[in-house]
Structure 1
Amino acid sequence: MSYKIIQWGTGAVGKHALRAVLDDPDMQLVGVKVYSEQKVGLDAGTLCDRPETGVKAVLDQSQLPLMDADCILYMPMLPDYEEIANLLRAGINVVTTAANMYPKAYGEEVFNNLNQAALEGKSVFHGSGINPAFMSDVLPLTLSGMSHRVSKIIVQEVSDVHVYASQAPEIMMDNIGFGKTPEEALRPDNPFLEWMSAYFHESMYMLAEHMQVKLDRIEPHHEVAVANNAVQLGNDLVIEAGSVACRRFEWRGIINGKDAIVLRTFWKTTLDIEPAWAVDSNKEVEWTVTVEGTPSYQAKVEVCASFDPLNVMCGKGGEDAAVIGTAMHAINAIPVVCKAAPGVRTFLDLPIIASHGAFR
């Protein structure tokens, strides 16, 4: 079966998704929505280093062939719930990487509005991602299925983000705070970081609800470290000495008064930092998922371009690979989503999502 796709957003993740759609013989690109005036009118192939396709990028969604699409890959920086609901109500399936793998975390009103819109349009809404998402909920839930009792779940990510910081400075520099003073980076009134925290909270609520427990509360514990020397990024960006070069985010889900679910991310551009944090991974990107219980399990997942020792990229390219993985989990969900019953469908509602392009 061939799926007609609209790519909605062509940022760091959206660009990889667009490329994957063009490379997939079972998918046909019918439209591209962009958010930058500079991209308007550009061919889809030009936006993702592929040959010209004849599909031009548009800013105004009224210029998109919405009714021709089987699915929209919705990948803006932040979700617009009214916009999503209108698309669902029009009968178009929506797969997004803009959070929302567990919309119930945002309250019954958000969930009910999305679900009702999907039911009215006989469409499906599905949120996808790698972390938060697969690594922080699907994988620990799966591991917990082999334990009689579970006392604690810890998910830790260690990522070298110097490439992503140069690819998406509007996220990493402007909003996350790399290159800023510690005071600026840690200011409490940061709407983007509030959204990011809510995004990680989704995984906690999914874990807790599926394991039939209730969170007392979620406690944030965030830190920054500054560069001892200037850090050169791509695209002529520089993190000056004394500016934030590493961030550690931690969210603790409290159950019965104890730290029960801990989601921790360590994002680094250098380790020449103050304070000199100890980092228990030298990989470009690595997740450690620990399920403490009876018995206990720990899984380490590294991502890179290749593990083949004969490949020149063996063990390299982890940061870019993680971004590609985020896009591909959404791409691979399309066949499953298009066959699913209408409504909001999370990972808990769908079959296992596997590679759509395996062994070709």
Structure 2
Amino acid sequence: MSKPLRVVVWSTGWIGSIAVEAVHRRPDMELVGVWVHSAEKVGHDVGEIVGIGTVGVVATSDADALIALRPDCVVYAASGPERDTAAVPDYVRLLEAGINVVTTTSTRLVYPPTFTAQWRDALETAAKAGGTSLYASGIFPGFGSDQLALVLSTQSSTIQKIEATEVSLNDHYPVADVMMDGMGFGRPLDFAPWLSRPGTIEASWAGPIHLVAEGLGAVVEEVRGSLERALADRDIEVAFGMIPAGTVGAVCTRAVGVVDGREAIVIKHIIRMARDVAPDWLGSECDATYRVDIDGDPDIHCTMTMGEMQGHAAGRGAMVATAMRVLNAVPYVVDAPAGLLSSLDLPLTLPRFALRTAHR
């Protein structure tokens, strides 16, 4: 085996913690540094922070010190309301310094051509200067919203429509401003959440829609978005507080890519605060369900479930899948030509050493 790739993990939230454990376990990677936002975590062993015991790497908030380590790749998993605004300057610094980046933070980067033009240009310039690559993925956006559909389409002769749907229970998500102000949970129907702003849904899902279209050799003429909300019929206690009866307890976004004048690529995202809210919508008794329906020759219907059945806490299955989508891609991104990558630019990012049961 060649020399292990030197990896830095950026943050120790849910996704970052999973990445820290996975990097430490893999014989083809070496965890050399971890960035943390919280001052309380600085100076502590990152293994202790994420609950796997001492690993000999100390957490830091000093980005310059991590860059000076000259890692092969950064697994970027920072979250928060600023998202791209805070992340893009970090990406630029890392790429310019000769460090590849894989990220779950900037979901709109799953298909770079649809990313904000000013930011995209800055990232492309930085990648060219550093001879590096950036790749964004996850589970939805990411595998469930685009690559799964494309894999299934390899069985198709003709296709009229592809629809990809995620059904998830998000009662475990603790960030109140995102869930309430951003998505409208716990608010009355006359409240206007961020999701309802004109163009928001279209911008959020344009990436995977255009990725699927390019993969199939089609041109998207227009992206249309819609939002539907359903009310809770009782008080529901969730991680960020309470959903009062009569307020929004389920949200469905629908983004449509128009090809040849018809709805050809559809991405739906159904989020509930309890499994029995909006009973007429597609449901799931697992952490999350990802469904792809292809109308064509032949018709194809595939349902992928994530995690355990009802009663499993905190949606860990989808979190692990999100983290591993980018972590498993690290060796392929390091080997790829410099630039901004999508899943169309990489081979299958197979999980090397996943069948090994022994931990280091």
Band the TM-score falls in, shorter-chain normalisation: 0.7 to 0.9
Q: Deviations over 1:132-171 (max 9, x none)?
A: 11111111112222212111010011111112x23x4453
1:40 has 2:45 as partner: no
Letter in 1 for 2:252: R
Over 3 Å counting, the alpha-carbon distance change for 1:153 and 1:73 in structure 2 is: same
CA contact (8 A) 1:5 1:70 kept: yes
Alpha-carbon distance, 1:96 to partner? 0.6
Whole-angstrom CA distance in 2 between matches of 1:200 and 1:37: 35
The equivalent position to 1:86 in structure 2, one of 93, 97, 104, is 93
Partner of 1:53: 55
Over 3 Å counting, the alpha-carbon distance change for 1:151 and 1:66 in structure 2 is: farther
* Range with bigger deviation, 52-61 or 98-107: 52-61
Whole-angstrom CA distance in 2 between matches of 1:287 and 1:116: 36
**Map of 1:21-36 to 2, 5 A cutoff?**
21-36=23-38
Letter in 2 for 1:140: A
**Map of 1:70-85 to 2, 5 A cutoff?**
70-77=72-79, 78-79=83-84, 80-85=87-92
Letter in 2 for 1:179: G
Partner of 2:282: 279
Structure 1 unpaired stretches of 5+: 306-312
Q: Deviations over 1:20-78 (max 9, x none)?
A: 22232332222222233343333312321121234333333123244431110111221
Partner of 2:115: 106
1:332 has 2:328 as partner: yes
Whole-angstrom CA distance in 1 between matches of 2:279 and 2:215: 38
Alpha-carbon distance, 1:347 to partner? 1.0
CA contact (8 A) 1:103 1:110 kept: no
Partner of 2:300: 297
Alpha-carbon distance, 1:203 to partner? 0.3
CA contact (8 A) 1:104 1:110 kept: no
1:142 has 2:151 as partner: yes
* Range with bigger deviation, 216-225 or 206-215: 206-215
Q: Which secondary structure does the structure 2 equivalent of 1:352 belong to?
A: coil
CA contact (8 A) 1:304 1:315 kept: no
Alpha-carbon distance, 1:222 to partner? 0.7
* Range with bigger deviation, 288-297 or 275-284: 275-284
**Map of 1:149-228 to 2, 5 A cutoff?**
149-163=158-172, 165-166=173-174, 168-169=175-176, 171-184=178-191, 186=193, 194=200, 197-228=202-233
Over 3 Å counting, the alpha-carbon distance change for 1:132 and 1:270 in structure 2 is: same
Whole-angstrom CA distance in 2 between matches of 1:288 and 1:184: 30
Q: Deviations over 1:276-326 (max 9, x none)?
A: 533344333111101111222111111115xxxxxxx89956821011100
Q: Normalising by structure 1, what TM-score?
A: 0.87
Q: Normalising by structure 2, what TM-score?
A: 0.87
Partner of 1:230: 235
Letter in 1 for 2:281: A
CA contact (8 A) 2:287 2:318 kept: no
Whole-angstrom CA distance in 1 between matches of 2:272 and 2:158: 35
Whole-angstrom CA distance in 2 between matches of 1:42 and 1:183: 46
Whole-angstrom CA distance in 2 between matches of 1:66 and 1:190: 42
Alpha-carbon distance, 1:249 to partner? 0.9
Partner of 2:4: 2
Whole-angstrom CA distance in 2 between matches of 1:226 and 1:68: 51
Over 3 Å counting, the alpha-carbon distance change for 1:245 and 1:188 in structure 2 is: closer
The number of equivalent residue pairs is 347
Partner of 1:130: 139
Letter in 1 for 2:158: R
CA contact (8 A) 2:188 2:246 kept: yes
Q: Deviations over 1:7-27 (max 9, x none)?
A: 112222222212222232332
Whole-angstrom CA distance in 2 between matches of 1:182 and 1:47: 40
Partner of 2:130: 121
Whole-angstrom CA distance in 1 between matches of 2:279 and 2:146: 30
Whole-angstrom CA distance in 2 between matches of 1:290 and 1:197: 21
Q: Deviations over 1:239-287 (max 9, x none)?
A: 22223221111111122222111100111121444x6533344333111
Structure 2 unpaired stretches of 5+: none
Partner of 1:351: 347
The equivalent position to 1:18 in structure 2, one of 8, 14, 20, is 20
Over 3 Å counting, the alpha-carbon distance change for 1:107 and 1:209 in structure 2 is: farther
Q: Which secondary structure does the structure 2 equivalent of 1:68 belong to?
A: coil
Letter in 2 for 1:324: V
